[in-house]
Amino acid sequence: MTMAESPAGSPRADNLRATPGQAAREGGRFAPGAGRDDDGFERRAVVFSAEDLRRAQVRIAHEIVERNHGAEGIVLVGLHERGPEIAQRLAAAIASFEDVEVPVGALDVAFYRDDIGMRPVQPLGPTEIPVDIGGKVVVLADDVLFTGRTIRAAMDALTELGRPRAIQLAVLVDRGHRELPIRADFVGKNLPTKIAEDVRVRLHEHDGTDDVVELWGPSGFSERGTGAPREEGGA
Amino acid sequence: MRDLLSIADLDRAQIEALLDGAEHMADVLGRDIPKVPALRGKTVVSLFYEDSTRTRLSFETAAKRLGADTMTFTLGTSSVKKGESLLDTARTIEAMGVDAMVVRHSAAGAPHRVAGWVDAAVVNAGDGRHEHPTQALLDAFTLRRHRGPGLDGARIAIVGDVRNSRVARSGIACWHRLGAQVTLVGPPTLMPERLDGWPVAVSHDLDDVLTELDVVYVLRVQQERLGQALLPSLREYYARYGVTTARSERMKPDALVMHPGPMIRGPEIATEVVDGGRSLIREQVANGVAVRMAVLWDLIGSGGRLV
């Protein structure tokens, strides 16, 4: 098995959930506005400005309600880290137009990952789901969908807590390179990326900076592309 | 962390990381299905050369809650009776393919020796009079849940047979690192011969210090030691050091009482105190599982050994 979510031995693993403290460490290095960081990564594109991100969130909130014919029976569950904040935002948006308070929870998937022992894994936050999810529609919320392994772990974790009627997935960015048969139901933006690139998400509640989503990549490779799925042992 | 042999090997940040990890484990234990697959495929063996019920069950429960397989080796049923050495026993067990060994032994330093012989992670579950690190950690975890993040400034008295207590040795090191002020209370015959360099105060009179304490940590009177003429009589000992209802009433309103077990209800600690509002004794046992889960996860799950 390859180091599934660790792109080519790169120290950059921004959108991986299971690297404790990484966000904190990056907090110092990643200055929005600066175009280059200490690891030789440079900014390629701004995927979402704060305003665009807000619009995407509102659209996703509408889509969730539309798909489920209302907001009753929905539970929004965010995956650490940044997922809980996204779930809160979606719930606030739904409350603003639908007048329903959708319950919001947080889920940590560390103990359910399939790469335990392959690289450092630590819980990133408490699992707190305020309602019984049995018979409900659980909408998982996350920032970036990549290999799908985090989502697989999340479904395992969730089913230990109850039997939802359905599980749906909402993400801000789908960057491709799935390694499992998983897809998102609600997507802010489909973004073709290369494996070696990073999608960096900053949310003001979590990171203390303005909201922004950016695509970063190693300096010196400026051409863009979708990138073929990595081969076995490619790391 | 590769092995957990002694609190002395840990600094404050490492201790706090383990206690933070135990919070996640307590969260798991509070669920309807209190089990996660984090250590599936791993094997944890308890290698117990000394009697223990609670510590062994606590470790085995912790391993099972994380999805690990467990094996148990106790003195009564083993080839040690046929003369096998610790070295050969440890290597034999390791050859079966184990990831962690939880070792209790009456000889101080035995887990350290085992750690030098095997590749598996070794956890000291009590070695002679030396250390019992997971007990100190679970006590710290229990106190932290009642007092907030640190133990800074907390006044903790360890009452009783400190001289023979590995719980006290680990406790002093752990709680001092977390900012507590530790006082040892007991008759001079039950104090260590030398206290040079120990970060503790000493009192021979519980009533002297009682009203200043935030935590009274009661050690078991090891009655098997009475023959050594260290105590004049149990009656006299209990009169001076027993945690009675009267003493409990004189303590600070929010002071807490702890005991590592096994405890002797009655003179050592009054039944009303054991079951009263100050007592954390039941919580200590429950928290033991969460803390040992955090230790096992740190050693063989989180990837710490890979780095």
DSSP B305: G
How high is the pLDDT of residue B81?
66
Tell me, yes or no, whether A197 lies in a domain.
Answer: no
Query: Mind listing the pLDDT tens digit for each residue in A116-153?
Result: 888 888 899 999 999 999 999 999 999 999 999 999 99
Percent of chain B's residues with pLDDT above 70: 93
Q: For residue B72, list its beta bridge partners.
A: B46
Spatial contact of A204 and A211, defined as CB atoms under 8 Å apart: yes
| pLDDT, tens only, B85-113 | 899 999 999 999 999 999 999 999 999 99
Query: Is B2 part of any domain?
Result: no
Contact B301 A121 (CB under 8 A): yes
Q: Is the pLDDT of residue A205 over 80?
A: yes
pLDDT at B188 over 50: yes
Residue to test with chain B: of A17, A116, A121, A129, most B Cβ within 10 A:
A116
Q: Are both B293 and B236 inside the same structural domain?
A: no
The Cα–Cα gap between B206 and B281 comes to 20
Task: Find the domain containing B182 and state its range.
Answer: 133-281
Dihedral angle over CA of B96, B97, B100, B106, nearest 10: 20
Residue type, A110: A
What is the pTM assigned to this prediction? Answer: 0.86
Number of compact structural domains in chain B? 2
**Token pair in block for residue B287:** 């928290």
Residue A156 lies in a domain: yes
CATH number at residue A155: 3.40.50.2020
Kindly determine whether residue B37 and residue A111, on different chains, have CB atoms separated by under 8 Å: yes
Residues of B in contact with A17 (CB under 8 A): none
Residue A172 forms part of a structural domain: yes
CA distance B90 to B92: 5
Touching check for B30 and chain A: CB below 8 Å? no
Please list, in sequence order, all residues whose beta carbon lies within 8 angstroms of the beta carbon of residue B90, skipping any fewer than 6 positions away.
B47, B101, B114, B117, B118
Q: What is the pLDDT of residues B206-217, one digit of tens each?
A: 999 999 999 999
Taking alpha carbons only, the member of B62, B68, B67, B118 closest to residue B93 is B118
Neighbouring-strand partners of residue B73? B47
Q: How far is A225 from chain B (nearest CA, A)?
A: 33
From B25's Cα to the closest Cα of chain A, the distance in A is 10
Are residues B103 and B243 part of one domain? no
What residues form DSSP beta bridges with A46?
A214
> A with B: how many residue pairs have Cβ under 8 Å apart?
48
In angstroms, how far is the first alpha carbon of chain B from the final one?
A: 10
Interface test with B, best of A6, A16, A108, A111 (most B CBs within 10 A): A111
What is the tally of structural domains in chain A?
Answer: 1
Report if residue B174 sits inside a domain. Answer: yes
In a domain, B1, yes or no: no
- Greater model confidence, B230 or A215: A215
In a 10 Å sphere around its CB, with 0-12 CB exposed, 13-18 middle and 19+ buried, how is residue B204 labelled?
middle
B111 and B196 belong to one structural domain: no
Q: How do B256-258 and A104-107 pair as beta strands?
A: unpaired
A128 lies in a domain? Answer: yes
Q: Of A226, A222, A214, A216, which Cα lies nearest the Cα of A38? A: A216
In chain B, which residue's Cα lies nearest the Cα of A127? B27
Read off the pLDDT of each residue in B158-166 and give the average, rounded to a whole number.
93
In a domain, A116, yes or no: yes
Shared-domain flag, residues B153 and B233:
yes
Same domain, B73 and B89: yes
Cα gap B119→A44, rounded to integer Å: 46
Same domain flag for B189 and B265: yes
| Residue B184 located in a structural domain | yes
Domain with A64 in it:
50-192
Q: In the prediction, which pLDDT does B302 show?
A: 85
- The model's pLDDT over B112-138, given as tens digits with 9 standing for 90+, comes to 999 999 999 999 999 999 999 999 999
DSSP B1-38: ---B--GGG--HHHHHHHHHHHHHHHHHHTSSS----T
For residue B286, what is the enclosing H or E element? helix B281-300
End-to-end CA distance of chain A: 10
For the ranges A74-78, A170-174, A209-213, B192-196, the lowest mean pLDDT is seen at B192-196
Residue of A29, A31, A48, A122 whose CA lies nearest to A86: A48
Q: Is residue B296 a part of any domain in this protein? A: yes
Residue B20 and residue B74 in one domain: yes
CATH code of B35's domain: 3.40.50.1370
Q: Are B137 and B174 in contact (CB under 8 A)?
A: yes
Model confidence at A22, pLDDT cuts 50, 70, 90, reads very low
